[in-house]
Structure 1
């Protein structure tokens, strides 16, 4: 018996040891797998595989400056070749204490489609802020990307805080269904926002990118080759018909609410003011793309036709109601449903969120209540008039809440903005051509009705730009040359000033534009432009230009300040020293002598006609004054 018990004891002991070994083996296997994954990740990084998905990257030729990572959109379009790029707007990685920094988040409307560069509403806003507060350093950095939605906005928001924004502007909501990772898009991961956001989080790893790229290549083998020729608009759509209140429809609404709420909470924690805009879409002049043909009560076309009839009969409120109903029932979800704007307005309860009601403002500025082609070029993208209106809405919201702590003394009207903004003929023409080309394809299929037999030079330049045969910079240079050669200096000045908006950190563009403003006797604008160049890189050369134009504009006290800078940095400049002395003595001289002194000052800065007029007046009472006679001979 004892022997049997001893044997059993040994077997039990042996069993225990084998279980321990098994556990150790399992733990070791997990550790080895993790080590293998870590090593593979390190190897991929060392080999340079994959992309760094940091939001910003260093500017190559401008130390200390950064801009939006041009590869960032690859993070959201994985599994497709639809990634887009945005603006390359440089700003300092380390924010100056004097800088007021505004970030803007959005999609293609944020980009300014169909216009390039200055058509975007953030450029309209930038110009208004520059002109109203010339002494302030206000930067607006546009982080919009075409064909993205709230997933990208939420992800960007996590990184923004460390770059110390004073304000964040948001205009988004149309792409919840077909934007990258949207519930109806080609790279959808389903209607589970927390899962999608987790997938985005692990996209930072090169191993995940390797797997994702592999899946994408396999999928591409089964895609039609002609897809490459289709518009991005079509390539992004997987589920064309999404009925109102369907499961996919509800998933899109939930996705938007979840992501924007998360974004706002993150910014609210850091007490960053957010200006969140409602969005506008074309109600009146866009037929529903896909209508339910099985039921009249769910037929978008039926409501659209009712709306058109009511509109023609001047029953405008009835027309408005039916236009909106038609939009809501349109199963191709390119236009955001009204519920998106309801969600946006609900966030007004947050401490640091200010709702900018662009939809209501578009309605007020549309004839007879219904938003249409008066402000939009197709279903959701504004025309230049519409973009200026969005910019002005943000401008007035910034003024009303004054989160930037500015002195709003000479606030512009909407008419001021539209009149002064350096929008060129090229901007409007290129945008028109872009829309014409877009509407040839799905879902419009409109015939191109365009006569190219008798085009003006600006039309030819815009056409080449729209076809991507020349760059924006080349187009602007050609347009500038055309205007200058034809002595249309005002138009040339507008082109030159538009370039300064694209290159706000390059002093040479301000100087060139200032020179042209001075050439056409717009001394006030010349001074403003030279001062911007001087702020970027103070030099004696620019100080001289500022001084001359200040004197031409009779701003003598300020001219003395710049003359002192010249004297300090170039003591050999005798003319500037004398000019400073003359300006100081002007206020002390008698009225008669003041005329003589001013005549001499105007002569020194090339204002001969003004100098001669003062001399003639002076010589009437002092006909034998030798100094005056000598100056008159010089003139």
Structure 2
């Protein structure tokens, strides 16, 4: 028998630190590779704001949508409107940020027909030397995931308030549970994916996959709306439906918490959609009688419909017909309930369900959150309180009057929050009356040029000729000439045609301004010059021209704003200061005009025009004081 050597020491156990190193080594290597990729400049992060072409200014990132897709080739053709604003917030200014979906962006009218622009126009009329910025980051096809993702960047530019309008894209927008661009049906996994996508290693893997995968095929001519939906339908109270409700509620809660922690007021806006003109896009008619459509169109009465609804309670189309019948029988309250039920049962979720407005109202009860109740305001301005074509172009986007009401709902909410006290006409009595009076008319704020309006009408026609409005491809594509030929002068027809075909907005509107100058049309010239000044806020000469045209048109308040902007950009320009003094005189602000003249004379004591105006205004002011003193 072999004898074992008992002098051999037993084997020592492997140290725990060895296993720790073994497990952490791959992680360390991955981190090192991540750092190397970043140092090498690989990949992209797509921040919300990027430097504008003008030094000292920022603008929303035109490539922001790539942040929410893995393959840039699949990204829908959407982007925030170009808008330049100062990288460093001016002291004493009012800076409001707008975020949300296509309605917040002003589709189809674009930036200058958006509720953000209309709100800014109203504030311009009230501001007395206050610098106003209403900056929009809104973009089509996004939902609450995007807004939650960009909230830290919104807060970083020091807004005085953030205004949100979102909810219609919660199911079929980017990352929605029923979207072509869904990351995960699980909310937490989607939020993790948003963080993971910032890693250069993840981007490297994605680029390697794209290199071996064919480019995605996109049907030519499809609208963004037609590209988004992936599921055939999402039933009310289904798992996917409830997931959408949960993500909206939870994302709203986190957005509100971020704003509260930063001390920035948050305005949530209730949603509006067309209940009357648009039947459900997709209905479950599996329980309906086969001859239901023929029966209803021929012989159904209001008394027969409730029994049919009991047989097919999930048929959205049947609820819609019931609502129309109730409305025809002069029962508007019951009709509204039936039409809302029809919208909620619509399997193709391009309109937010009714519960979303309930969630918005509930969230507005938290500290630091305010409610802009657009839905109530729209109902007050709609026949029988039912939303339809009076204020909406199609299923969700307001018309010009509707956008003015939406901007007015924001103005009222900002007033209630006490954020407009520095603007003229926003004292406590005024804001209280504005906030509580339902019949108040929005300030006149028609900013659209004839070119923008023709382009908007064309975009709506294109939208209505595609899915889901034309589900059987029966409508021909709209003809460009049907919209450009509505402008009588051939010169305007040519400009409109170029804009619709993708022409340069700035260049075409400069030509439009020249046209109005030649026609000696001061009001329209003022509007176009103001649009150009807002598009190029660093151009003092354009701002001054807008002020001059507004003065000639008799609009002293807007002339004051743009003359003031020109002077802010070039405070040493005595001509700008002299014209501001003249404008202030025209609106009755004699002390303000005298202050501007005194500043001119400090720089140039022998300025004859300033001396003459100063003497005249002082004499007039002394005379008014003398007369008031002699009054018994």
| CA distance 1:420–1:340, change in 2 (3 Å) | closer
Aligned residues: 581
CA separation of 1:450 and 1:234: change in aligned 2, threshold 3 A: closer
Q: What secondary structure does 1:6 align onto?
A: coil
Cα distance per residue 1:541-566 (max 9 Å; x no partner): 20122234445666544333222222
CA contact (8 A) 1:203 1:209 kept: yes
The 1:521–1:75 alpha-carbon spacing in structure 2 relative to 1, beyond 3 Å, is: closer
CA distance in 1, matches of 2:352, 2:547: 44
* Alpha-carbon distance between aligned partners in 1 of 2:551 and 2:254, rounded to the nearest angstrom: 51
Structural mapping, 1:489-528, within 5 Å: 489-520=522-553, 522-523=555-556, 525-528=558-561
SS of residue matched to 1:341: helix
Structure 1 position 181 matched with structure 2 position 175: yes
Where does residue 496 of structure 2 map in the other structure? 462
Say yes or no: does 1:157 pair with 2:155: no
- Give the aligned partner of residue 632 of structure 1: none
From 460, 468, 487, the counterpart of 1:443: 468
Superposition deviation, residue 199 in structure 1: 1.1
> Which residue of 2 is the match for residue 367 of structure 1?
383
2:267 pairs with 1:278: no
The match for 2:201 is 207
In structure 1, runs of 5+ residues without a counterpart are 592-635
* Secondary structure of the structure 1 residue equivalent to 2:520: coil
Whether the 8 Å CA contact 1:511–1:530 is kept in 2: the answer is yes
Does the CA-based 8 Å contact 1:363-1:371 persist in structure 2? yes
Q: Distance in 2 between matches of 1:400 and 1:589?
A: 40
Determine the C-alpha separation between the residues in 2 that align with 1:260 and 1:576: 56
What residue number does 1:433 align with?
458
| 8 A contact 2:458–2:478 mirrored in 1 | no
Change (3 A) 1:88 1:381: same
In structure 2, the partner of 1:304 is: 320
**1:67: Cα distance to partner?**
2.6
Q: CA deviation at 1:110?
A: 1.1
**C-alpha deviations, 1:392-444, integer Å up to 9, x for none?**
00101111221454361466798764524433333333211110011111112
Tell me which residue corresponds to 1:625: none
Determine the C-alpha separation between the residues in 2 that align with 1:112 and 1:237. Answer: 22
How many angstroms does 1:116 deviate by?
1.5
Post-superposition CA distance 1:336-364 (Å, at most 9, x none)? 11111111111122111112221122122
Tell me: CA distance 1:546–1:289, structure 2 relative to 1, closer, same or farther (3 Å): same
Corresponding residue for 2:515?
Answer: 482
1:382 — aligned with what? 398
Please report the TM-score for the alignment, with normalisation by the length of structure 1.
0.84
Whole-Å separation in 1 of the counterparts to 2:165 and 2:65: 18
CA distance in 2, matches of 1:300, 1:361: 26
Name the residue aligned to 1:598: none
- Per-residue CA deviation, residues 177-231 of structure 1 (Å, 9 max, x unaligned), is 111111111121222111111111122222212223444566655x4x3435422
Please give the alpha-carbon distance, in whole angstroms, between the structure 1 residues aligned to 2:261 and 2:38: 34
Tell me, yes or no, if the aligned pair for 1:127 and 1:421 is still in contact at 8 Å: no
* Residues 583, 128 of structure 1: alpha-carbon distance in 2 compared, 3 angstrom cutoff: closer
Q: 1:53 aligns with which of 33, 46, 49?
A: 46
Tell whether the 8 Å contact from 2:47 to 2:64 is kept in structure 1 after alignment: yes
Aligned pairs (5 A) from 1:331-350: 331-350=347-366
Cα deviation, residue 483, structure 1: 3.0
Aligned to 1:117: 111
Give the structure 2 partner of residue 267 of structure 1.
259
Q: Distance in 1 between matches of 2:171 and 2:477?
A: 29
Counterpart position of 1:99: 93
Q: State the distance in 1 between where 2:333 and 2:493 align.
A: 40
Aligned to 1:542: 576
In 1, Cα distance between equivalents of 2:149 and 2:561 = 38
Give a deviation string over 1:54-103, Cα, whole Å, max 9, x none: 3322334222x323233332111223322631033333333343122211
User: How large is the RMSD of aligned CA atoms in angstroms?
Assistant: 3.0
| Alpha-carbon separation, structure 2, partners of 1:13 and 1:559 | 96
Q: Post-superposition shift, 1:333?
A: 0.5
Aligned to 1:424: 449
The residue that corresponds to 1:253 in the other structure is 245
Tell me the residue number matched to 1:237: 229
Distance in structure 2 (CA, Å) of the matches to 1:461 and 1:590: 51
1:237-275 per-residue CA deviation (whole Å, 9 max, x = no partner) reads 211311111111111111111111111112122332111
Cα distance change, pair 550–352 in 1 and its aligned pair in 2 (3 A):
closer
Distance change (3 Å), C-alpha of 1:368 and 1:573: same
Alignment equivalent of 1:33, drawn from 23, 26, 29 = 26
Give the match for residue 321 of structure 1.
337
Aligned with residue 570 of structure 1, among 604, 619, 622: 604
Q: Which runs of 5+ in 2 are unaligned?
A: 288-311, 626-632
The verdict on how the C-alpha distance between 1:417 and 1:492 changes in structure 2, with shifts beyond 3 A counting, is farther
Q: TM-score if structure 2 supplies the norm length? A: 0.84
Deviations 1:502-551 (Å, cap 9, x if unpaired)?
33443222211122233445555434421221123212120122234445
1:218/1:288 CA distance change after superposition, 3 Å: farther
Question: CA shift at 1:118, angstroms?
Answer: 1.0
Which residue of 2 is the match for residue 291 of structure 1? 283
CA 1:181 to 1:420, structure 2 compared with 1: closer, same or farther past 3 Å?
A: closer
Change in CA separation of 1:36 and 1:485 when aligned onto 2, cut-off 3 Å = same
Partner of 1:351: 367
Q: Provide the C-alpha distance between the structure 1 equivalents of 2:125 and 2:5, rounded to a whole number of angstroms.
A: 98
Q: From the CA coordinates, give the structure whose radius of gyration is larger.
A: 1
Distance, in Å, in 2 between the alignment partners of 1:228 and 1:39 is: 43
Deviation digits for residues 24-63 of structure 1, max 9, x if unmatched? 3x55555543343234323433443321233322334222
Equivalent pair of 1:53/1:204 in contact (CA under 8 Å): no
Query: Which one scores higher on RCO, CA 8 angstroms, separation ≥ 6?
Result: 2
Give the distance between the partners of 2:567 and 2:83, measured in 1 at CA.
20
